[in-house]
Chain A
Amino acid sequence: MDLRAGDSWGLLACLCTVLWHLPAVPALNRTGDPGPGPSIQKTYDLTRYLEHQLRSLAGTYLNYLGPPFNEPDFNPPRLGAETLPRATVDPDVWRSLNDKLRLTQNYEAYSHLLCYLRGLNRQAATAELRRSLAHFCTSLQGLLGSIAGVMAALGYPLPQPLPGTEPTWAPGPAHSNFLQKMDDFWLLKELQTWLWRSAKDFNRLKKKMQPSAAAVTLRLEAHGF
């Protein structure tokens, strides 16, 4: 391959441009650090695993509550359960969320849901159900830690719980046990929706992190010159 003088200058200019932009790629800012990509992937995988695990747990628990909660077509409008974090969001709003806000919402939601779930576990009458709930809580705790890891990798601070806002699972005197069962139903349903949303969130984050990998490839090619 013979290079003319003009070509050499062009290549040099290209190389300089790439090198100039390399510091701007977050994934390349840490030497030897693989970046948040693997963490996001692991978080995504954990989310899918929890989705699968919840399907089994919810079936058992809703049977424990009895009809109508375990009926497949039971789909009441959510009017109560105000304290539960809502997973449903307008698609445009969801798309416009930045990474930090997206991750913060996930972290906060699972913090609350985990707390409620532990309350559920305390009330469960059967040992088998308690074991299943405890296992799921452990997995959910793992997801929370994973999200915290991604946030730390991206340099985002963890949200601090406001004092006195720790969610509790003590029904008030006016709160009937039927409504309590409704809350349990909504907790499981909301948890399911959150896991589904999180899978979307982390998939989006995963895709968003891919350009950094392209940059690495580009750098390697340039180095080869």
Chain B
Amino acid sequence: MALFAVLQTTFLLVLLPLGTYQRKVSSEPLPLTPESLKVSINSTCQCLNLQWSVHNLPYHQELQIIVQIQISRIKTSNVVWVGNYSTTVKRNQVLHWSWESELPLECATHFVRIRSVMDDAKFPELKSWSKWSSWEEVDVQDSLGHDTFFLFPKDKLVEEGSNVTFCYISRSNQNNISCYLEGIQVHVEQLAPNVSTFHLSRVPFVRPKGTNIFCDVTQGEDPKGTILYVSKVLEELKDFSCETRDLKTLNCTWDPGSDTALEIQPSQSYTLFESFSQKKKVCKHRNWCTWQVSQDSQEMYHFTLMAENYLRKRTVHLVFKLTHRVRPMTPLNFFLENINSTNATMTWKVHPIGNSTFLCQVELHHDGQIIQNKVFMEMNGKYLLSEMEPDTHYLARVRCAYGNHFWKWSEWIGRKFTTLEAAPLAALDVWRNVKSVPGGYNVTLFWKPLSKFHANGKIRFYNIAVENLDKPSQFNLSILAPSNNTALILHKYSYQIRVTASNSMGTSPASVIVISGDLGDKDIEEERVKGTEDGFSLSWKPQSGDAIGYVVEWCDHPQDPLCGLQWKKLGPNTTSTVITSDAFRPGVRYNFRIYEVSTKWIASLLEKKTGYSQELAPSDNPKVAMGSLTSHSFTLSWKDYSTESQPGFIRGYYVYLKSRMEQCTSGFERTVLSDAPANCEHKIDNPEQKTFTVENLQPASSYEVFVTPYTSTSKGPNGTFTKVTTPDEYTHMLIRIILPMILCILFITIVCYFKIQWMKEKCYPDIPDPYKSSVLSLIKSKENTHLTIMNLKDCIPDAIEVVNKPEGSKTQPLGIGKSLTETEFTKPATYLYLLPTEENPSDPGPCVCFENFTYNQAASDLGSCGHIPVPPDAPPSQLGLLNSPENLLKTLEKDYTNTLGEISAGETSLNYVSQLASPMPGDKDSLPTDPPVPAQCSEYKMQMAVPLGRASSPPSEDSSLSSIALLDQGEHYR
């Protein structure tokens, strides 16, 4: 144990000095330790610039070392970047290195330290890191000034798509600060108590004046801002090329790309550098630059084009031999000579380049198409253009290239020209339309204008020579172009017509047509053909066998009056063709006539065809007339319906019938198609059958009927049904009876109307008017001036007739004193004679009395209107007051009006007493002596209503003769 302690102490004593030595060695600076580290800030590039030296290098030779750099932010422990920097170093050499900070350096304190290590295999003993230098602090915040707010970086220039970090230092309140990028607020993060940052990613180019970033610090202060200049990225140089036109000057061009100019950065500059000659030229233009070819016969050139702005450089290289980049100048003195209808000569000159030959290319254009193209070695600058068409516009041009080595063609030089005209090449295509008129024909000639190829120029006029083949004679016509038809009136002979076209250089071959004296119109049946979208396929059978051709004729617009006549000429061996036309429209019927042209140029009609390029449904339905209506049938008729004007061949008709019956009538079938307008239909297959009788109907039933045509395509349009109601079974019988009866009555009525006078005379003759009586004329003719018509006032009553009904006595008021009538009640009537009737009371007086029994049935029962005798003992005193007719009338009127209201209905009846005219007052004295014949005085003169009730009352002095009729001597007629 003691021994162990001694050994331990000895060991420690040995180690202690060793450890002391070790410490001594380590305290000395190692040879590669960086010294004199200085760190500064470059605000423009946001760079930390480091500068140091290595004093204690053990060797004097240059050594390869690696320097490790550590950068911390805010505090030393917050290392933000560590990196190595490899360089060579000599003793006491000052080294420089720079680091670009993402965060603006003004916003945070940065710390830097470095160490190094030998990177050389010859000195393995120095293969360990030196000591770190001490931390070097960089802080510029104190040197910013006295402002309270700073925003960094200032006016930074970056490329489009870069990421940029901004920071601000606010020495006042941090909370109220908002920052904006082009007016849009950005998100801010706090980095330190008074430092905040915000980051912009992939910044775009906005404007040359820069992108504005500003912060609202506090109210009442200027906005603090900065500008971020975002440059477009300098593009790669494209299409860099150099060439010479004269071996003296090189012209280099390139595609410059977009301009990267900003307020703080000019447009990119372009510099041309030639390696062989080591010459350099700054280009003034953005996309081209000239270079003087050196006089020392330099053949090879190596150009470097460099584009440069503040942020980037681009270069592109081009190596070439000068003679391989020759593009001759545009030929000059270009002329076209000896131009005729098919040929022309072109001449030109080329700018000479030494003794070189040139390759030239000639082109001839027409309507934008290359007609001729020729490349040849240019000998004399001349070329003959041939095989051109007359009267045609052309463009001739030439260009040349360097003959020794082809690089590029020169620009074209050329001219437009027109060849001269030539005589028309081909005969006109002529056709005719012949219409027979009295005494001759109307011949209309049509021709198609010659194609440009055949016309060989502008056709000025058409010549028509008409030769009479029967009677040798001829006449000529000239029609000015561009007319394409003319009309001729010819006699009924055969004519040969020759048509030619003329331009300024000549006339075309003639086209011949012969119009035969006999048109030979044949009744040829029209055949139907089916057209397609591609046209009409027509075929025919040759007739004569020696035809020189066939002509198919049709109208493009058959509905137009001008019709648009078209024709197609075919060879003799052709018996079919397809007729096509852009004018063909669906639903239009086209008629084709096929003619055979004989060897004598006479065209005769061979066949007729008709058809539609596409059949359509009928455009309208027939107007159907109804007839023969019976209780079991009716007939439909549509004879006015034209099948020819329809947009398709009418194949037949459908008759539709609607009824309330579930079963269709016989002849009709039940339809199952949903588009059928009714459930019962009858199909008529014959388009010419335009009547149809619907039979087996129910009497007194309603039906609806509709007729529509159909083509191969479809039926006609939907229309309205016609309503039909079948009559009752007996109706027609009734009609057979009632109608004749009505006719008979009508006949009788008419007969009666025309014979009414006769009827009147026979059945109810007119009551004669005494004033109009023929007696008057008789009287006058006898010149008996004393005879005249009696006036009422001249009529002196001579009798009173008291009329009373037998039952009237029952209602007679009692208590009235006996009067002269009391004794007369047993008699039917009593007459009072007021005038003396000594001679014969029964003689007829001058007046005749009628009783109108229409008003008094009771009175009529009396059966007579004769004078009823009045008792002769009637006191005349009672009558004396009535001697004067005036008094009597007054009394009567007064009494009548008084008594009318007193008579109750049923108790009384009226008895009208008519009075004939009495003799004139002047004849009063002579009346008794010469009374008039009763027959001559048989008219009504006046009627008076006499109340019967009162008639039976005894007359008093006041009311005397209220029921008395005033009568003169005369007769009563019934």
Tell me which residues across on chain B come within 8 A of A76, comparing CB atoms: 221-223
Q: Does A204 interact with chain B (Cβ within 8 Å)?
A: no
Residue of A65, A68, A80 with most chain B CB atoms under a 10 A cut-off: A68
Tell me which residues across on chain B come within 8 A of A64, comparing CB atoms: 207, 209
Tell me, in angstroms, the Cα distance from A178 to B220 when the chains sit together: 18
**Contact of B212 with A182 in the complex, beta carbons under 8 Å:** no
Tell me, in angstroms, the Cα distance from A71 to B214 when the chains sit together: 13
Q: Does B211 interact with chain A (Cβ within 8 Å)?
A: yes
* Size class of the A contact interface (CB-based, 8 Å): 10 to 19
| Other-chain residue from B182, B208, B226, B264 in contact with A67 (beta carbon distance below 8 A) | B182
Tell me, in angstroms, the Cα distance from A68 to B212 when the chains sit together: 8
Tell me, in angstroms, the Cα distance from A125 to B264 when the chains sit together: 11
**Contact of A77 with B222 in the complex, beta carbons under 8 Å:** yes
Q: Which of A60-80 contact B (CB under 8 A)?
A: 64-69, 71, 76-77, 79-80
Tell me, in angstroms, the Cα distance from A71 to B207 when the chains sit together: 16
**Contact of A65 with B223 in the complex, beta carbons under 8 Å:** no
**Contact of A68 with B227 in the complex, beta carbons under 8 Å:** no
Tell me, in angstroms, the Cα distance from A201 to B154 when the chains sit together: 42
**Contact of B212 with A69 in the complex, beta carbons under 8 Å:** yes
Tell me which residues across on chain B come within 8 A of A125, comparing CB atoms: 208-209, 261, 263
**Contact of B261 with A71 in the complex, beta carbons under 8 Å:** no
**Contact of A67 with B212 in the complex, beta carbons under 8 Å:** yes
Tell me, in angstroms, the Cα distance from A79 to B147 when the chains sit together: 13
Q: Does B183 interact with chain A (Cβ within 8 Å)?
A: yes
Interface string of B194-234 (1 = CB under 8 A from A): 00000000000011111110100000111101110000000
Q: Does A176 interact with chain B (Cβ within 8 Å)?
A: yes
> Which residue of A has the minimal Cβ distance to B219?
A77
Q: Which of A152-192 contact B (CB under 8 A)?
A: 176-178, 181-182
Tell me which residues across on chain A come within 8 A of B263, comparing CB atoms: 123, 125, 177
| Other-chain residue from B209, B222, B226 in contact with A66 (beta carbon distance below 8 A) | B209
The answer to whether residues A68 and B226 also contact, given A79-B221, A125-B261 and a CB cut-off of 8 A, is no
> What distance in Å separates the Cβ of B263 from its nearest Cβ neighbour in chain A?
7
Tell me, in angstroms, the Cα distance from A76 to B207 when the chains sit together: 23
* Size class of the B contact interface (CB-based, 8 Å): 20 to 34
Tell me which residues across on chain B come within 8 A of A65, comparing CB atoms: 209, 212
| Other-chain residue from A80, A123, A177 in contact with B222 (beta carbon distance below 8 A) | A80
Q: Does B155 interact with chain A (Cβ within 8 Å)?
A: yes
> What distance in Å separates the Cβ of B911 from its nearest Cβ neighbour in chain A?
118
Tell me which residues across on chain B come within 8 A of A77, comparing CB atoms: 220-222
Tell me, in angstroms, the Cα distance from A195 to B211 when the chains sit together: 31
Tell me, in angstroms, the Cα distance from A178 to B212 when the chains sit together: 7
Residue of B180, B183, B211 with most chain A CB atoms under a 10 A cut-off: B183
Tell me, in angstroms, the Cα distance from A106 to B214 when the chains sit together: 34
Interface string of A38-61 (1 = CB under 8 A from B): 000000000000000000000000
Tell me which residues across on chain A come within 8 A of B212, comparing CB atoms: 65-69, 178, 181
Interface string of A108-125 (1 = CB under 8 A from B): 000000000000000101
Tell me which residues across on chain B come within 8 A of A66, comparing CB atoms: 182, 206-207, 209-212
**Contact of A178 with B226 in the complex, beta carbons under 8 Å:** yes
The majority secondary structure among interface residues of chain A is: loop
**Contact of B180 with A178 in the complex, beta carbons under 8 Å:** no
**Contact of A68 with B180 in the complex, beta carbons under 8 Å:** yes
Tell me which residues across on chain B come within 8 A of A181, comparing CB atoms: 209, 212, 225, 227
**Contact of B210 with A177 in the complex, beta carbons under 8 Å:** yes
Tell me which residues across on chain B come within 8 A of A79, comparing CB atoms: 221-222
Tell me, in angstroms, the Cα distance from A13 to B924 when the chains sit together: 132
Tell me, in angstroms, the Cα distance from A77 to B227 when the chains sit together: 20
Tell me which residues across on chain B come within 8 A of A80, comparing CB atoms: 222
> What distance in Å separates the Cβ of B104 from its nearest Cβ neighbour in chain A?
13
**Contact of B183 with A71 in the complex, beta carbons under 8 Å:** yes
Tell me, in angstroms, the Cα distance from A209 to B31 when the chains sit together: 93
**Contact of A182 with B211 in the complex, beta carbons under 8 Å:** no
**Contact of B221 with A176 in the complex, beta carbons under 8 Å:** no
> What distance in Å separates the Cβ of B219 from its nearest Cβ neighbour in chain A?
9
> What distance in Å separates the Cβ of A69 from its nearest Cβ neighbour in chain B?
7
**Contact of A68 with B223 in the complex, beta carbons under 8 Å:** yes
> What distance in Å separates the Cβ of B205 from its nearest Cβ neighbour in chain A?
12
The answer to whether residues A178 and B227 also contact, given A66-B209, A68-B214, A125-B263 and a CB cut-off of 8 A, is yes
> Which residue of B has the minimal Cβ distance to A123?
B263
Tell me, in angstroms, the Cα distance from A176 to B228 when the chains sit together: 11
**Contact of A176 with B227 in the complex, beta carbons under 8 Å:** yes
Interface string of B145-179 (1 = CB under 8 A from A): 00000000011000000000000000000000000
**Contact of A177 with B264 in the complex, beta carbons under 8 Å:** yes
> What distance in Å separates the Cβ of A35 from its nearest Cβ neighbour in chain B?
46
> What distance in Å separates the Cβ of A26 from its nearest Cβ neighbour in chain B?
46
> Which residue of A has the minimal Cβ distance to B184?
A67
> Which residue of B has the minimal Cβ distance to A77?
B220
Tell me which residues across on chain A come within 8 A of B261, comparing CB atoms: 125
Residue of B182, B211, B227 with most chain A CB atoms under a 10 A cut-off: B227
The answer to whether residues A178 and B209 also contact, given A67-B182, A71-B183 and a CB cut-off of 8 A, is no
Interface string of B229-273 (1 = CB under 8 A from A): 000000000000000000000000000000001011000000000
Tell me, in angstroms, the Cα distance from A67 to B181 when the chains sit together: 8
| Other-chain residue from A67, A68, A69, A176 in contact with B154 (beta carbon distance below 8 A) | A176
> What distance in Å separates the Cβ of A172 from its nearest Cβ neighbour in chain B?
13
Tell me which residues across on chain B come within 8 A of A69, comparing CB atoms: 212
Tell me which residues across on chain B come within 8 A of A182, comparing CB atoms: 222-223, 225
**Contact of A176 with B208 in the complex, beta carbons under 8 Å:** no
Tell me which residues across on chain A come within 8 A of B227, comparing CB atoms: 176-178, 181
Interface string of B711-743 (1 = CB under 8 A from A): 000000000000000000000000000000000
Tell me, in angstroms, the Cα distance from A181 to B182 when the chains sit together: 14
Tell me, in angstroms, the Cα distance from A66 to B210 when the chains sit together: 8
Tell me, in angstroms, the Cα distance from A178 to B166 when the chains sit together: 15
Tell me which residues across on chain A come within 8 A of B223, comparing CB atoms: 68, 76, 182
Q: Which of B764-795 contact A (CB under 8 A)?
A: none
The answer to whether residues A176 and B226 also contact, given A66-B182, A67-B212 and a CB cut-off of 8 A, is yes
Tell me, in angstroms, the Cα distance from A80 to B224 when the chains sit together: 11
> What distance in Å separates the Cβ of A170 from its nearest Cβ neighbour in chain B?
15
Q: Which of A66-96 contact B (CB under 8 A)?
A: 66-69, 71, 76-77, 79-80
> What distance in Å separates the Cβ of A133 from its nearest Cβ neighbour in chain B?
14
> What distance in Å separates the Cβ of B19 from its nearest Cβ neighbour in chain A?
59
Tell me which residues across on chain A come within 8 A of B155, comparing CB atoms: 176-178
Tell me, in angstroms, the Cα distance from A218 to B175 when the chains sit together: 72
> What distance in Å separates the Cβ of B207 from its nearest Cβ neighbour in chain A?
6
Tell me, in angstroms, the Cα distance from A64 to B263 when the chains sit together: 12
> Which residue of B has the minimal Cβ distance to A69?
B212
Tell me, in angstroms, the Cα distance from A178 to B154 when the chains sit together: 9
Tell me which residues across on chain A come within 8 A of B182, comparing CB atoms: 66-67
Tell me, in angstroms, the Cα distance from A67 to B261 when the chains sit together: 20
Tell me, in angstroms, the Cα distance from A80 to B225 when the chains sit together: 13
Tell me which residues across on chain B come within 8 A of A71, comparing CB atoms: 183
Q: Which of B360-380 contact A (CB under 8 A)?
A: none
Tell me which residues across on chain A come within 8 A of B214, comparing CB atoms: 68, 178
Tell me, in angstroms, the Cα distance from A215 to B182 when the chains sit together: 61
Tell me, in angstroms, the Cα distance from A158 to B264 when the chains sit together: 39
Tell me, in angstroms, the Cα distance from A221 to B635 when the chains sit together: 114
> What distance in Å separates the Cβ of B176 from its nearest Cβ neighbour in chain A?
16
> Which residue of A has the minimal Cβ distance to B151?
A178
> Which residue of A has the minimal Cβ distance to B181?
A67
> What distance in Å separates the Cβ of A73 from its nearest Cβ neighbour in chain B?
11
Tell me, in angstroms, the Cα distance from A69 to B263 when the chains sit together: 17
Tell me, in angstroms, the Cα distance from A125 to B220 when the chains sit together: 32
Shortest 3 CB-CB contacts between residues of A and residues of B: A67-B183, A178-B225, A125-B208
Contacts A66-B207, A68-B212 aside, 12 further interface pairs with beta carbons under 8 A come to A66-B182, A68-B214, A68-B223, A69-B212, A76-B221, A76-B223, A77-B221, A176-B225, A177-B263, A178-B212, A178-B225, A182-B225
Q: Which residues of B contact A (CB under 8 A)?
A: 154-155, 180, 182-183, 206-212, 214, 220-223, 225-227, 261, 263-264
Pull 10 A–B residue pairs with CB atoms less than 8 Å apart, ordered by A: A67-B180, A67-B183, A68-B223, A123-B263, A125-B209, A125-B263, A176-B226, A176-B227, A178-B212, A182-B225
